[in-house]
Amino acid sequence: MKDSDSDRLYASPRLSIAGFAFNHAVVAVFPDMIKRSVPGYETIVAMTGTLARRFVRPHTHCYDLGCSLGASLLAMAAATSDRPRHLVGVDNSAPMIERCQEILQRECLATDAELLCEDIATVPIANASMVALNFTLQFIPLEQRQALLAKIFAGLNPGGVLVLSEKVAFGDEDHNRLMIDLHHDFKRANGYSDLEISQKRSALDNVLIPETLEAHRQRLREVGFASVDVWFQCFNFASLIAIRGE
Ligand code: GEK
């Protein structure tokens, strides 16, 4: 199958909806799925490259945690090709990592970047000037999130940056409902039917757990980040940068 294959995974009625998994079927349609489902995805990936150009230091590591097919890894690689650095992509889905390896080879980046099929909760992080966590923390059990962010903070060099992109929730119920509705309007405008939207929503229930921006900000400060703020938001999707103080 090609990268451009379109996502029709939830187009037919299903008797029961299993929890969403990053399997072969998802990998085959992933670029189309994420672009049509996440408002601002392409901007966030492109700006991850822009941030890399500014923050990645020579002879340091640059991580993409939950790299999927390596979109952020490729953006960071292209933006920092003028300096020696080691890129590391991590994902615990074997089909994602296999396909990502093919993409890196096609882009002639197989020697610049290392791919690890591992849980981001246990992978070591060291000598990092940048870590991208784009739409992955939301899949990590709530009770593991603080320890993961503390590990990332400890692995970042002073002045290093974490880019954290997430689907978010809002404390005000009416506002939360409005943002969810607007997100569904975005999906409808991108060709998803009401059936596809509702079946996907059921599949993600209890698999993707969004938190409020305030919860993210507070935890990032608690683990030690000196500077934390949102740089992008569209409806219930947002991206923050958190910088480790010098
Ligand atoms: C992009 N960042 O294109 N350990 C490792 N990987 C994990 C874990 C875990 N514990 N849990 C989930 N994943 C990408 C998009 S997708 C977001 C990231 C989405 C992986 C999972 O296998 C999947 O590839 C990725 O995190 C989330 O910018 O599909 O909404």
The pLDDT value recorded for residue 1 is 42
Segments of the chain with pLDDT less than 70: 1-4, 12, 15-21, 204
Q: Which of 136, 183, 201 to mutate to test the pocket of ligand 1 (most atoms within 8 A of CB)?
A: 136
What's the 15 CA to ligand 1 centre distance in angstroms?
Answer: 27
Write down the pLDDT at residue 4: 52
Chain mean pLDDT for the chain: 92
Instruction: Give one DSSP letter per residue of 96-129, joined into a string.
Output: HHHHHHHHHHHTT-TTTEEEE-S-TTTS---SEE
pLDDT of residue 111: 80
Per-residue pLDDT at 197: 77
- pLDDT score, position 84: 96
pTM to 2 decimals? Answer: 0.94
Number of domains in the chain: 1
What residue ranges line ligand 1, CB within 6 angstroms? 22, 34, 45, 66-68, 71-72, 90-93, 96, 119-121, 134-136, 139-140
- Asked if the structure places residue 188 within a domain, the reply is no
Instruction: Evaluate whether residue 133 is within a structural domain.
Output: yes
Whether 166 maps to a domain, the answer reads yes
d(CA 96, CA 83): 27
Q: What pLDDT sits at residue 239?
A: 98
Out of 36, 51, 68, 163, give the residue to mutate to test ligand 1, the one with the largest number of ligand atoms within 8 Å of its CB.
68
Confirm whether 183 is domain-assigned: no
Within a domain: 153:
yes
Tell me which residue range forms the domain holding 125: 41-170+207-243
Give domain status of residue 227, yes or no.
yes
Share of the chain above pLDDT 70, in %: 93
Which domain CATH number covers 98? 3.40.50.150
